[in-house]
Amino acid sequence: MATIDDIAAAANVSNTTVSNVINGKTKRVSSATVERVNKIISELGYVPNMSARALVSNSSKVVALIHLERVPKSMDFLDDPFTSRLASAVELALRESGYYLMLRTVSDADDLLAFLRHWNVDGLFLTGVFEDDEICSALRSINKPIVLCDSYLSDYGNMVNVGLKDVEGARLATRCLISAGHTRIAFASPPVRPGGVVEKRLLGYKQTLEESGIPFDSKLLFVSEFSTQEASRLGASIAMRGDITAVFATADLLAAGIMAGIRLSGKRVPDDFSIVGFDDLNWCLLTSPNLTTVRQNTRLKGQLAADLMVSMLENGVATAQNITLPVYLVERASVKTLKVTASPSKKL
């Protein structure tokens, strides 16, 4: 196996120069030398010893994406297409900066701290952290770069966050259905917890109903665990209701499951029920009909999260503390405009 000594001898440069090229520290190395060293590295098939480099630099070049398993799992977290797409975007951006991504599930603060005692990771990504979480207090005590996604905290402290205009997204979805003539609009979501994304989307739903003069009805709130089976059962339940004409689902996965349940009950979307989702995942074009939804740029969210992490790791500071990304309504075929029947005219 080739060593730095072998590369230095072949390129007729010092070991320090070779090390600088390998680690991307080339400001004081000529472009010709960089090219020559990289060519020899390729020819000799040199592979850096990451363990040895970690011992010398106290940096593993590994960043962990932590999944918080709050309840007994009904599905593997990477089965959620939104989560897997975000993780993919983070991994790609980190890889381009010379870092590696580790995925890890933890159940609570003690589990997280135990993980950190056993693994030398340079930083942490987490999604959906709540202010009143025990794990939030633990994160504030960790002396590592921490990047959150979709977390609403009053004080981020040592952490940074990449989030979304969740209230506005819910307003877009609800307004779309109201504009199509719907007034009995169900709100379908995972369990609502104070200070989280779902609560913000519920707030946007309520605000838009109020602005349109439509009374809020708690009987139109439906909760489903995040699995296709549960969502399909919820769709079947909604299909049995005679007082609902539309559904706003706070995630595309939930919307697709509800559509399946409605179809299995002998009803149709959008003829019997209109539906709007949230996220705009690729397979929204594979549902029948294609799903109208609120688009968020998941790949950009992952890219920005990774950029913040690399900035903190390499410069000691983040470029921003809380980034909020925009949302857009994407209209497809799952919403039907209701016909308004005119009142019969009086005979003279």
Most confident of 78-87, 90-99, 198-207, 312-321: 198-207
The predicted pLDDT at position 43 comes to 86
pLDDT band at 48 (very low <50, low <70, confident <90, very high): low
- CA 113, 114, 116: angle at the middle one, nearest 5? 65
- Residue 240: is its pLDDT beyond 50? yes
Give 290's DSSP letter.
P
Please indicate whether residue 291 or residue 18 has the higher confidence score (pLDDT): 291
Q: Residue 147 in 3-state DSSP?
A: strand
Across residues 62-81, what is the average pLDDT?
78
CATH number of the domain at 4-48, out of 1.10.10.10, 2.60.120.700, 1.10.10.60, 1.10.260.40? 1.10.260.40
Ranges of beta strands (E only) in 107-240 are: 123-127, 146-149, 159-164, 185-189, 221-223
Residue with tokens 């939930």: 254
Structure confidence by residue, pLDDT tens digits, 157-185: 889 999 999 999 999 999 999 999 999 99
Pairing status of strand 322-325 against strand 159-164 = parallel
Q: Which CATH superfamily is domain 166-296 in?
A: Response regulator (3.40.50.2300)
The segment(s) of the chain belonging to CATH 1.10.260.40 are 4-48
- Residue 52: is its pLDDT beyond 60? no
pLDDT band at 344 (very low <50, low <70, confident <90, very high): very low
The CA distance from 245 to 184, in Å, is 6
Q: Which of 2-6, 52-56, 65-69 shows the lowest per-residue confidence on average (mean pLDDT)?
A: 52-56
Q: What is the mean pLDDT of the chain?
A: 89
The two three-digit tokens of residue 224, written as one number:
């489903």
The predicted pLDDT at position 44 comes to 83
The CA distance from 125 to 160, in Å, is 10
Structure confidence by residue, pLDDT tens digits, 25-40: 777 888 899 889 888 8
The predicted pLDDT at position 78 comes to 77
The CA distance from 62 to 118, in Å, is 13
CATH number of the domain at 62-164+298-326, out of 3.40.50.880, 3.30.70.270, 3.30.70.330, 3.40.50.2300? 3.40.50.2300
The predicted pLDDT at position 342 comes to 46
The two three-digit tokens of residue 346, written as one number:
């009086």
The segment(s) of the chain belonging to CATH 3.40.50.2300 are 62-164+298-326, 166-296
Most confident of 12-16, 131-135, 140-144, 145-149: 145-149
The predicted pLDDT at position 50 comes to 55
pTM of the model: 0.82
